[in-house]
Amino acid sequence: MTSDIANIIDGARRAPTGKSRYRRLSPVDGTEVLAEYPLSTAADVEAAVDAARRVARSFANSQATWRGEILAGAARLLRERQDEAASLLIREIGKTRTEAKGETLAAIRLLEFYGNEAFRYGGELLSSARPDNHLFTRRRPLGVCGLVTPWNYPLSIPAWKLGPALLCGNTTVFKPSLQHPLSSQLIVEVLESAGLPPGVVNLVHGDGEVAGAAIVDHPDVAAVSFTGSRAVGESIYRSVNGRLGRASCEMGGKNALVVLADADLDVAVECAVDGGLSFAGQKCTGTDRVIVERAILDEFADKLVERVSTLVAGDLADDNVFVSPLVDDHQLRRVESIVSEGIAQGAELICGGAPSAIESGYYFPPTVLANINPDSRIAHDEVFGPVLALYPADDLDSAITQVNDTSYGLSASICTRSLSHAHRFVDAVATGLAYVNRPTSGAEFHAPFGGIRGSGLGPTEQGRKVLEFYSHWQTVAMRL
């Protein structure tokens, strides 16, 4: 085990007790061992749930303003450690410096935001219809919440779950993905250093099948907030609802960017590149499909390919570098097979296409395809790689039909100079996020964020709305 990797249970560092081990190789070269450590067992999860349960009542009855101070303090401490945090994201999951700094800042702001929300936290004083009656409502926490997170945002996704969960007075068991153990520990450390009592956040390093499932199935875990892939999210949603718990599952997308003939093509190209190729396309809101009005398809494709040829690869710590590796060998093989299968089924390769274009590590080159066979996997599955598929559209209506022709519903964007087209688009797309002249990716932490249909089950995350998920209302009537 790399000595500094441990579960954090009841404030103590404890080695996971599993016999199987996880070995993390650097995404940049595929050989350097970044971490090697044992996996947690169901018994480790049991200890974490037990610790969370023991402090649940005292934390529930603490003052919200005090919990807010802790969140704000954690934000300050993370700000002080932001260079270290960004370096961890670069090293552990292969973000570029720009992406790593952006994510760190998002995590800081999320903690700040939920810290500040403490000043608005409370309920309503109602005028009672009964004499001598004092009637009011207040938010109450749910108890122990399980937070299960993916690898692509190791700081900001935990921050957008921990922030509201703690503000509402819940205690938590946090199980991140295995690829980034030190980033996961960092966020717990800043909360501890800001004064969070032991047992309120318990970190368990483990895989999904054992540690994740033990959280999801635990009868004392009142709510599970999951972000990750669709198959896992759907099964977690069924399990938690099946045992009458509360679940929120944010999953993947098959996001589309529409480019109309009246668009500023330079803006449209930047939206496609940023939305589909930054962080090697490993964003739930990343662009998979670019639906272009037929009249400008060739011109757009030429401009796009020219721009892709300028994307800088190299040392991720260098501010100018844009190209990230995929997170691991599994992702690389997956993207490679989806693309090669698509080409074998008739897709035209416009640029990129094979990992050998970059020598070492888990790099897949930025790729553009056209003439997609509607029966191929690339037409339906989330790719989660740096791959843009171009589709022609006759007009706005046919573009909208294509945007909605997927079982996902996370993000969609349109590039147009027409206000009327923009409004018709946002009215018609079946997605949780609808953007105009912006990439499909990107979120503002104080606005609700989430998908519908195959992209999201249960309440949406972020903003103030998510407080409904992490709390219930108590109505109090007092005869005076």
**Piece of the chain touching ligand NAD by CB under 6 A; list 118-126, 187-195, 226-234, 350-358:** 226-234
Single out the residue of 163, 212, 245, 361 in contact with ligand NAD (rule: CB under 6 A). 212
Is 158 one of the binding residues for ligand NAD (CB under 6 A)?
A: no
- 10 Å CB burial of residue 231 (0-12, 13-18, 19+) is exposed
Is 451 one of the binding residues for ligand NAD (CB under 6 A)?
A: yes
The least distance separating ligand NAD from the CB of residue 364, rounded to whole angstroms, comes to 16
Measured over the CA atoms of residue 160, residue 83, residue 438 and residue 398, the dihedral's sign is negative
First to last CA, the chain: 61
Q: Kindly tell me which of 68 and 181 has the beta carbon lying closer to ligand NAD.
A: 181
Run of H or E including 256: strand 255-259
Is 177 one of the binding residues for ligand NAD (CB under 6 A)?
A: yes
Q: Kindly tell me which of 59 and 384 has the beta carbon lying closer to ligand NAD.
A: 384
Is 37 one of the binding residues for ligand NAD (CB under 6 A)?
A: no
Q: Kindly tell me which of 73 and 253 has the beta carbon lying closer to ligand NAD.
A: 253
Is 251 one of the binding residues for ligand NAD (CB under 6 A)?
A: yes
Is 213 one of the binding residues for ligand NAD (CB under 6 A)?
A: yes
The least distance separating ligand NAD from the CB of residue 309, rounded to whole angstroms, comes to 27
Single out the residue of 10, 189, 207, 341 in contact with ligand NAD (rule: CB under 6 A). 207
Distance of alpha carbon 180 from alpha carbon 215, whole angstroms: 20
- Number of Cα atoms under 13 Å in the Cβ half of residue 365: 18
Catalytic residues: 250, 284
Q: Give the DSSP per-residue string, 439-477.
A: -S----TTS-B---GGGEESS-BSTTGGGGTSEEEEEEE
Single out the residue of 52, 166, 191, 232 in contact with ligand NAD (rule: CB under 6 A). 232
Q: In what order do the strands lie in the sheet with 367-370?
A: 348-351, 367-370, 387-393, 287-293, 255-259, 411-415, 433-436
The least distance separating ligand NAD from the CB of residue 442, rounded to whole angstroms, comes to 12
Single out the residue of 87, 171, 172, 227 in contact with ligand NAD (rule: CB under 6 A). 227
Structure token digits, residue 103: 């994510």
One character per residue 342-381, x = contact with ligand NAD (rule: CB under 6 A): ----------------------------------------
**Piece of the chain touching ligand NAD by CB under 6 A; list 63-71, 90-98, 203-211, 367-375:** 203-211
- 10 Å CB burial of residue 313 (0-12, 13-18, 19+) is middle
**Piece of the chain touching ligand NAD by CB under 6 A; list 91-99, 116-124, 208-216, 433-441:** 208-216
Q: What are the helix and strand counts (H, E) for the chain?
A: 15, 20
**Piece of the chain touching ligand NAD by CB under 6 A; list 27-35, 92-100, 175-183, 368-376:** 175-183
Measure the CA angle with vertex 308, ends 306 and 312; round to 5°: 120
Is 324 one of the binding residues for ligand NAD (CB under 6 A)?
A: no
Paired sense of beta strands 246-250 and 456-457, if any: antiparallel
Structure token digits, residue 458: 């249960």
Is 246 one of the binding residues for ligand NAD (CB under 6 A)?
A: no
- Residue count, binding to ligand NAD (CB under 6 A): 29
Paired sense of beta strands 387-393 and 367-370, if any: parallel
Range 92-130 burial, b when 16+ CB lie within 10 A, else e: bbbbbbbbbbbbbbbbbbbbbbbbbbbeebeeeeeeeee
Distance of alpha carbon 355 from alpha carbon 361, whole angstroms: 9
Single out the residue of 24, 175, 180, 421 in contact with ligand NAD (rule: CB under 6 A). 175
Distance of alpha carbon 444 from alpha carbon 471, whole angstroms: 22
Is 382 one of the binding residues for ligand NAD (CB under 6 A)?
A: yes
**Piece of the chain touching ligand NAD by CB under 6 A; list 82-90, 131-139, 223-231, 466-474:** 223-231
Name every residue whose Cβ is closer than 8 Å to that of residue 405 and which is 6 or more positions away in sequence: none
Provide, for the chain, the percentages of residues in helix, strand and coil under a 3-state DSSP scheme, each rounded to the nearest 5.
40, 20, 35
Is 336 one of the binding residues for ligand NAD (CB under 6 A)?
A: no
CA dist 329 → 29, 179, 231, 418 (Å): 11, 12, 20, 43
**Piece of the chain touching ligand NAD by CB under 6 A; list 32-40, 186-194, 250-258, 385-393:** 250-258
Q: Kindly tell me which of 99 and 293 has the beta carbon lying closer to ligand NAD.
A: 99
Helix pair 82-93, 64-80: axis angle to 10 deg: 70
The least distance separating ligand NAD from the CB of residue 318, rounded to whole angstroms, comes to 26
Q: By CB under 6 A, what part of segment 107-126 binds ligand NAD?
A: none
Q: By CB under 6 A, what part of segment 124-153 binds ligand NAD?
A: 148-153
The least distance separating ligand NAD from the CB of residue 217, rounded to whole angstroms, comes to 9
The least distance separating ligand NAD from the CB of residue 176, rounded to whole angstroms, comes to 6
Is 38 one of the binding residues for ligand NAD (CB under 6 A)?
A: no
Is 209 one of the binding residues for ligand NAD (CB under 6 A)?
A: yes
Q: Kindly tell me which of 77 and 221 has the beta carbon lying closer to ligand NAD.
A: 221
* Max Cα distance, the chain (Å): 79
Residues that bind ligand NAD (CB under 6 A): 148-153, 175-177, 207-209, 212-213, 216, 227-229, 232, 236, 250-253, 284, 382, 384, 410, 451
